[in-house]
Each structure stands twice: as structure tokens, then as C-alpha cells.
Amino acid sequence: SAVDNLLLKLLMCRLPMLRIGNTAQVHPLIADFTLDRQAEREGISSVQAMEAKMVNAQLVGCTCLSVNSHVLFSKRRFDFCIVDEATQITQPIVLSALRCADTFVLVGDHYQLPPLVANAQARKEGMDVSLFRRLAEAHPEATQQLSYQYRMNRDIMLLANRLVYGDKLKCGSYSVASNHLKLRWQRQDTLGQKLVWPVQVLTNNQGVMFLDTDTMGEMTVESPSTVQVSSSGRRRMENIIEARVIAGLVELLVLGSVPADEIAVISPFRSQVALIQQHLTAVGALRRAGGSDWVHAVEVSTIDKYQGKDKDVILVSFVRCNEEKHVGELLTDWRRINVALTRAKQKLLLVG
């Protein structure tokens, strides 16, 4: 989760830290900071000792929703409340967290996705406007624009700058700017002639590659999912060719010694996410990349759920491909596209 992503970066600070949440759903490196694990490790058995552990934690990490349900927030007040991805949270939910602290800091990017509000009337009434946006517009003097970013290399940042940020973003250091994907294998002849183009895609020094499947003919045309149907009864979209291409590229990345947990595949459509997962499982079963355990380490998610996360390598499946050139509502929201384009550190592969 985005919470764990932040806490992972703070591990080296060795702060007395508490992670609120289900241990099974927390990142393995952060799980030891959950209350259950700390109680188990330190032999805490009394309610008083448990409360002391909660109250004395210098840093508490949780979701905004946890604030309303966890007993800790009724027992102590905090000096600061820092809310990450604040542009993606509805006002009632974020306010429940802010009331627990004397000072708050909202961190976010209004060029990315706003709060998800399914009800059309609620959106019309402004429910999808975040507190971050409201306060930034009402009090511009209280905002600070952060220009230096420490995620994307120079190529990926250039794309985001030209399309969205008006060349305002800068790489935080030379090492960030020059952080290109490096694969262990370099000899193409060891992988066979059929893999020449995928190898070229992965081994070149370009941070962004668009893999145009249009010339593959009718095979690339989208199709309604045969499995998933939305609540409105409409079929969800999937693209088999894109799923095959992506599964093959992911396998090559693993063969090239890229850690599987540094690879993510994202798509606007949940049905495509499920289809890609199926293709990855099938490829993993062939055990060409030294077993199949790597399949479970590769993250496959919707673009919306991946806001706030990053990986060394991101593959994006756009799915939509039809003669009418209809792209649908999801892909016409430029903020969603911006999220997809800004998740990768070393290599961004756009498939469509």
C-alpha cells in the first residue's frame, strides 16, 4: 500500500514506529511494526502494556479510514498529521484524520486522480473535490510546489513534463536521472531469433518505449470479457494480444535478473488485470525463468489502485483497440494517464 511505501523509506531512520492494519495485508518488511507482531515479540500480555506501546510510538502509519475505527485515536493527540495522496481522499474521510493533530500537512498532486465517487449526483455536488484542492485554491500562499522528484529517470520525467507538468519537474540527483534498466544477459543469440525485438526493447537505454500492436491486424482488437460483467450489465474490456505480449516481456525481465517484486503491470480495466494474471501464471508454469514463484511477486493492478506506488519497471496495457477509435471514459481522463506514466523508475513500457 501507499502507507507501507512511505514507511519503507523511513526504516533507516529507526524511529519507534507503529503500523495500524491487518498484519497479513501489510508489507513483509513493515509487518514487524504492527501491534500484534510487537506484542508477540516483546511478550506483551496486559491491556495497559498494549496501550503504552500504542501511545509511545513516535510515528504511526495508517490509512485515513483506520482513524475512525482504531482505539488509538481516541486515546492520544498528535503534533502533526501528514496525509499522502491527499488529492485522492474525499473531504469527510480526510477530516477525520486531521482532527487528531494540532498541525496538518497535505501532500498530493492535483494533476493525478481525484477521489473516486461513483454516484453522479454526488460528483455534481462536488464530492469528488478533495480538501487539498479546495485549500490550495482558497489559500495559494499556504502551498509549496515541489519540483524535484526522486523516482523517474530523465526519459520518463521528460514525457510527464511535456504532457502534463510544463517542464517544471526536475530530477533530484544525477543518479536518479541516469537510473536506467540494466539486464544481466546481453547476448541476443542465447535467447533465439524470435526474441530479437523484445530483447532490443528491454536492453536499449531508452526509459520509455511504446509497443504499437496495431500492425498485428485483427488479433489486436479488444473484446468483451467473457468472465466479468459490471454492475450495470455491460461487458468489461480485455485484449488478449496485449496480455500475451506483456506476459512474455515480464518473463524476459525476470530472465534478465530484474527482481520480480520490482516489476508491475497496470491497466485501466479490472478484466484486463485478471487476464494478464492468467497469462503470467501460464508462462510461469513453463518454468523457463527458474520456477514459478516469481509470478506471485509481480504486481498486477488497475491504474487507479497504483497511485502512490512505484516500481523499477512498469508495463501499461491500454486495451482499447477498435475501428471506431472509441477509447471509453477511463482513457479520456488525462489524470489517469498521468498516473500510469509516472509510476516507473527505470523503464516504462506502453503497450497498445
Residue 15 burial (CB count, 10 A): 13
CATH class belonging to 2-146: alpha beta
Domain range summary for the chain, segments of one domain joined by + = 2-146, 147-176, 180-351
Q: DSSP per residue over 179-247, as a string?
A: -----S---GGGT-GGGHHHHHHHHSS-SEEEE--GGGGGGG--EEEEEEE-TTSPEEEE-HHHHHHHH
Helix spans in the chain (H): 2-10, 35-42, 47-56, 64-69, 91-98, 120-124, 131-138, 154-160, 174-177, 196-203, 240-255, 270-285, 294-297, 328-332, 334-341
pLDDT score for 195: 64
- pLDDT band of 350, cuts 50, 70, 90: very high
Residue 48, pLDDT > 90, answer no
How high is the pLDDT of residue 302? 96
As a CATH number, domain 180-351 is 3.40.50.300
Distance separating alpha carbons of residues 245 and 88, to the nearest angstrom: 32
pLDDT digits (tens, 9 = 90+) for 59-114: 999 999 999 888 889 888 999 999 999 999 999 999 999 999 999 999 999 899 99
52 touches 67 (CB < 8 A) = no
- Compute the average pLDDT of residues 171-176: 97
Residues 22-27 have a mean pLDDT of: 90
Range of lowest pLDDT (42-46, 192-196, 325-329):
192-196
- 2-146 and 180-351 share one fold: yes
Comparing 26-35, 38-47, 118-127, 149-158, the range with the smallest average pLDDT is 38-47
Q: What's the confidence (pLDDT) of residue 78? A: 95
Give the mean pLDDT of the chain.
Answer: 88
Asked whether residue 140 carries a pLDDT value surpassing 90, the answer given is yes
326 band by pLDDT with thresholds 50, 70 and 90: confident
Please say if the pLDDT value at position 217 is more than 70: no
Distance, in Å, from the CA atom of 247 to the CA atom of 294, rounded to the nearest integer, reads: 12
Query: 77 is written with which cell numbers?
Result: 493527540
Reply yes or no on whether the pLDDT at 225 is more than 90.
no
| pLDDT, mean of residues 286-290 | 80
pLDDT of residue 332: 84
CA angle 224, 225, 231 (to 5 degrees): 95
